[in-house]
Amino acid sequence: MRADVLIIGGGLIGFSTALQLAMRGSRCIVLEKDSAGRHASGVNAGGLRQLNRHPAEIPLSVAAAEMWHNIDTLVGSDCDTRFPGQIRVAENAADMLLLEERAAMVRSLGFQHEEIIGKDQLYRLVPALSPHCIGGLISRKDGYGRPFHALDAFRRKACSLGVEFHSSTRVDELERSGTEWSAITAKGEFRAPLLVNCAGAWAGRIAAAAGDAAPVKPGAPMLMISERIPHFMDPVIGAASRKLSFKQMQNGTLLIGGAHMAKLDLEHQVTDMNWAKLAVSARTVMALFPQLKNVRIVRTWAGIEAFMPDNLPVIGSGTSPGVYHAFGFSAHGFQLSPVVGKIMSQLILDGKTDLPIEAFSIERF
Amino acid sequence: MPACDGPTIVVKDHYQLVIIGAGPTGLSAARVAADHGVDVALLDEQPAPGGQIYRAMESIPPARAGLLGDEYQHGRKIVSSFRQCNVDYLSDTQVWSLNSKREIGLLQGDEPLMITADQVLLASGAMERPVPFPGWTLPGVMNAGAGQILFKSHGIVPNDGVVLAGSGPLLLLLAWQYMHAGVKIQALLDLTPMRNHLRALPRLPRALMARHYLAKGLVYKKDLKRAGISTLHNVSDLHATGNDHISSVSFRHRGRQRSIETELLLVHFGLIPNAHLSRAAGCEYQWDRSQQCWRPELDDWGSSSIDGILIAGDGAGIGGARTAEHAGRLSALQATYALGIIDKYERDQLSRDDRKWMHDDLHIRPFLESFFHIPRKLLSVPDDDTIVCRCEEVTAGEIRMAVADGHSDSNQVKFLTRCGMGPCQGRQCAEAVAHIVAAAGGEKVAQGGHYRGRPPVAPLTLGQLASLYPEETE
């Protein structure tokens, strides 16, 4: 089977890239070893966050936010997005100082989306918050979506434009023959002159087979969700000096993340919850919302994701001809995915992109 | 030395053997292991030993116990034998987590605890197979097992009449027990298709080797007939109707549409292994066509695919209470051997009688399984409007639409539709979803797959979780 571009990895980044390429007339094949969005793409916290991004990611994140606010025009679905804003709360003067420095840094880069708010405004936005907080940093146009719905919308749209998707199709070997890459799978050989590595936690192996070294470290950040409770809060809440991402979803459930890792057996794709760390997450939520003590936790899980040593993704071309990489989003790729697809299509079809991606080169390792 | 009850025991951080479930499997396993000096904890959610089958054995008034029949009385021996042995018996204890490292999360009252074990025996028994049909979510429609629990524990029986419907030995037994207790049974609707008689016929000769079970079934039937209880066979198209409570049940019988007014419908469609903990731990399962359920992959000692986790009794595949008792002892011997307390020879010698009894007891199963085989049409919820996931109110039609959109396994359907994401953790819909997905995709049920286990498997509040590992920091 032949195409213009072979994309390895049927997650959000893979389908976003395929979609943008297909919109410009390229024929793409997406190969996925499991099912679409089976790992990090389908089961992440769905945060649409510009707040607190690494400076190198800010231009991409701001561009992505624009796309998310109009996601319906791109994929024909709103992906269940909501934009009630995201807030990092300050619990003491040291926290507040940290946030003020952060806001100043973002402004100095020419961006205005991170804004300091005082105590009054904080409690107007989040009346349920424990009374000890003193202010916060807000990004008003941030929010969240439902990851599997987004993934599904990207996949459908891409496939409606002719993208060929093969699930349960693991790439066992990559070969370069003449001017083409060939991916050998149990379901046959797939060939194309161009190859995009969007393989997430498994991208290190694909990069190596394509001639690049990338120190990908697979990890499985844990999430937990509660039973439905009456609506009490709109914005997504983080904290200046705690690991937390906390929101009440549109259906009333509470989603709690804190970037704590499950114990991961990558070979068998099995995760065991680290209850000690989930207990820490629970204490963090209780410190900010003590009234939630009796809310029942319904489910915990951990999706398998690629982490890089500097927690920045790899975005760009590889060292071998015809190779491109987009992986290693280190648990904050969901929001970036629409713009990363666009960047990849520009790199592939125009040889350049208008967004700054130098910091994400694979050659930094 | 008598075992003392839950609250007075100081729970240790670690045990050589933790047994989960105090039914016939767990109780007989505990006795064997304790007799070999194994350091055992037996965890159970009920206030007293017995499991579902011998529920309330120690507290039941003799008159009520008499109504429950000989099989129930047999449990007295098992419970009293268990009471002679030295184990940490933790009653009223919920187990909310088990992982592959044999870390066990439990809850006593409001206090969560984490303990570990060298060996874990899951003796979690069976649950009734949930089969969604139109109207099954209406108040007043209950599982037959729930009816039996109310009767055993509290002597509560329906006052204003009841319709029993479904297929399986338990339905017949409950009808018989209700009859003796003077309950007005409006009708017994047997949904077992007539063709099952033919299907079961070749298995009859082997079943005759366990003919006491057959005899018992025939006695129940005869008694019900003599009492004038109307039993309708070969019933189909079961349908409960009512506004905010069931008011009538309608069905097809002998080519005619019929309906009976009732305030209470008890349904039963057979038993399946209770697999919530073992799934959460990651034990491997395979589809059993004869039992129409998933069974854990086990060796003949009950060892699962995970080192140090054993599964025995109905949780390993439905075999009934007597088999469960033997299987519990076999697994306890295996655990004792794995702990290095007995050698292989001793284990094998000590297991001989139980193996023989178990083999004999199981003669009846192939016959029962084919006789009470549930029609695939019923399992795959033909009516699009029927709610399958009652927590998230997802219908069969929505699930079929997800399959048509290219989502070819239960987990993808779950992600998309939220079926199985509610507080019951998919207990009520996992089986039906697998059948619907398989039927809609033209696949075998095994391909449709089962929801991945996601702890906690019992309710745990944020406050309870927060009280665990107090020394742990970010």
Complex-level ipTM: 0.94
**Superfamily classification of domain B380-448:** BFD-like [2Fe-2S]-binding domain (1.10.10.1100)
CATH 3.30.9.10 fits A86-140+221-302, yes or no: yes
The residue assigned the tokens 């930094």 is A364
Distance of CA B87 to the CA centre of its chain: 25
Distances (CA, A) of B327 to B27, B110, B120, B212, B333: 11, 33, 14, 20, 10
Peptide bond into B24 cis (omega under 30): no
Residue spans of the domains in chain A: they are 5-67+147-215+310-364, 86-140+221-302
pLDDT digits (tens, 9 = 90+) for A50-106: 999 999 999 999 999 999 999 999 999 999 999 999 999 999 999 999 999 999 999
d(CA B425, CA A238) in angstroms, rounded, equals: 28
Distances (CA, A) of B194 to B91, B110, B167, B201: 44, 51, 12, 12
CATH 3.40.50.300 fits B6-127+272-342, yes or no: no
pLDDT at B152 over 90: no
Q: How many CB atoms lie within 10 A of CB B218?
A: 11
d(CA B317, CA A215) in angstroms, rounded, equals: 45
CA dihedral (B1, B4, B9, B14) positive or negative: positive
| Same fold flag, B130-269 and B380-448 | no
d(CA B129, CA B379) in angstroms, rounded, equals: 10
CA angle B431/B213/B223 to nearest 5° reads 100
Q: pLDDT tier at B2 (50, 70, 90 boundaries)?
A: very low
Q: Which residues between 226 and 265 in chain B have a beta carbon less than 8 angstroms from any beta carbon of chain A?
A: none
Query: Which of B97, B462, B464, B473 best tests the A interface by mutation, with the highest count of A CBs <10 A?
Result: B462
pLDDT at B304 over 50: yes
Strand partners of residue B258: B251
A65 neighbors A141 (Cβ within 8 angstroms): yes
Which chain B positions have a beta carbon within 8 Å of A301's beta carbon? 454
| B359: CB partners within 8 A, 6+ apart | none
Distances (CA, A) of B370 to A256, B8, B191, B220, B456: 47, 47, 14, 20, 35
pLDDT digits (tens, 9 = 90+) for A217-263: 999 999 999 999 999 999 999 999 999 999 999 899 999 998 899 99
pLDDT digits (tens, 9 = 90+) for B394-412: 999 999 999 998 898 999 9
d(CA A136, CA B142) in angstroms, rounded, equals: 51
- Facing A282 at nearest CB: one of B411, B465, B473: B465
pLDDT digits (tens, 9 = 90+) for A110-168: 999 999 999 999 999 999 999 999 999 999 999 999 999 999 999 999 999 999 999 99
pLDDT digits (tens, 9 = 90+) for B211-245: 999 999 999 999 999 999 989 999 999 999 999 99
Choose among A206, A194, A209: nearest CA to A321. Answer: A194
- Asked if A35 and B408 come within 8 Å (Cβ–Cβ), the reply is yes
Residue spans of the domains in chain B: they are 6-127+272-342, 130-269, 380-448
- Asked if A275 and B461 come within 8 Å (Cβ–Cβ), the reply is no
d(CA A32, CA B228) in angstroms, rounded, equals: 62
pLDDT at A296 over 70: yes
Q: How many CB atoms lie within 10 A of CB B266?
A: 25
Instruction: Give the whole-number percent of chain B exceeding pLDDT 90.
Output: 86
CATH 3.40.710.10 fits B130-269, yes or no: no
Which chain A positions have a beta carbon within 8 Å of B276's beta carbon? none
| A124: CB partners within 8 A, 6+ apart | none
CATH 3.50.50.60 fits A5-67+147-215+310-364, yes or no: yes
Q: What is the mean pLDDT of residues B421-428?
A: 91
Distances (CA, A) of A305 to A243, A257, B195, B452, B455: 18, 14, 52, 18, 20
- Asked if A299 and B473 come within 8 Å (Cβ–Cβ), the reply is no
A28 neighbors A190 (Cβ within 8 angstroms): no
- Asked if B455 and A285 come within 8 Å (Cβ–Cβ), the reply is no
Choose among A299, A333, A300, A331: nearest CA to A222. Answer: A300
